[in-house]
Amino acid sequence: MGGFSWLNIGWALLLGAMLVMVWPRARTMMKEGRKGSAAEWKAALIPLLLVIGFVVLLILSV
């Protein structure tokens, strides 16, 4: 699927446009966004680790 096909060039252009559109919002969120405490990060990371475990289970089941 890789290489310089028109389809790949089209997708690359679309993703590039997305990058241009997302960048200003991302920059603002990175600079001015609220910083989380260690407890808050823990509260977010635990469910995300459970998601990883669940995805591994799904992969093993198929």
Site for other proteins, rule CB under 8 A: 1-4, 7-8, 10-12, 14-19, 21-23, 25-26, 29-31, 33-36, 39-41, 43-44, 47-48, 50-52, 54-55, 58-59, 61-62
User: Do the beta carbons of residue 24 and residue 31 sit within 8 Å?
Assistant: no
CA distances to 35, 43, 53, 55, 58 from 46, rounded to whole Å, are: 18, 6, 11, 14, 19
* Interatomic CA distance for residues 5 and 1, integer angstroms: 9
To other proteins, the closest distance from the beta carbon of 53 in angstroms equals 11
To other proteins, the closest distance from the beta carbon of 13 in angstroms equals 9
To other proteins, the closest distance from the beta carbon of 62 in angstroms equals 4
